[in-house]
Amino acid sequence: MAGIIRDATVDEKKDFIEVKHKNRNPFQVKLAARALKHTKDHTPICIRCAQLDYQDKIERVKTELERSQGIIQGDEDKIKRLDFNLDDYARLDRFELLEVSDAKEASIVAGQKVHVLVGKNENFRCKKRGCGITVYTPIEEWNEKHPKDAPKKSTEAAVTAGSMM
């Protein structure tokens, strides 16, 4: 199996298409990092609204530059690096909690296929544009946040949730 990978010959290289790493918009990188943080924290963030508002802001800036300077071709980098605050899109008062539902997973317990409670799904609606957002929280973290809803024993919770199909 050694020697399978080799350098391309000159004839092979003439048909190659160079694949370049596409430079991502700094806003998209910042938004992706922020969305990952909120996913890990199990809190809502309205990514769709942030993207739409950012696009609107770029259009407004382009329009103003075009009106004042007449041409905007040289300012593309400057436009992409606009300062944009994402804190507004993660505020809890921006969302309306619609429902909390159980997240169940099929499992085999004592030879029987049962559904085991693995977490909770919180369904939110963004108050600005009505975007639907679902936040999954594992059952252990849910029980820490909501101790009054937590069952007495963890095995009791699994069996109870599993018996309810």
| C-alpha span between 149 and 67 (Å, rounded) | 59
Domain boundaries, the chain: 23-90, 95-165
Confidence of residue 2 (pLDDT cuts 50, 70, 90): low
Q: Which residue has the higher pLDDT, 23 or 163?
A: 23
Contact 81, 63 (CB under 8 A): no
Give pLDDT tens digits for 36-49. Answer: 999 999 999 999 99
As a whole number of angstroms, the distance between CA 83 and CA 33 comes to 16
Helix or strand holding residue 43 (H, E): none
Q: What is this structure's pTM? A: 0.69
3-state secondary structure of 142: helix
User: 137-146 burial, b for 16+ CB within 10 Å, e for fewer?
Assistant: bebeebbeee
Contacts of 127 (CB under 8 A, 6+ apart): 94, 95, 96
* 104 touches 161 (CB < 8 A): yes
Separation of alpha carbons 72 and 54, rounded Å = 18
Residue range 51-87, pLDDT digits in tens = 999 999 888 888 887 887 776 566 666 677 778 889 9
Average pLDDT along the chain: 82
Mean pLDDT of 133-156: 78
pLDDT at position 136? 94
Mean pLDDT across 122-139: 93
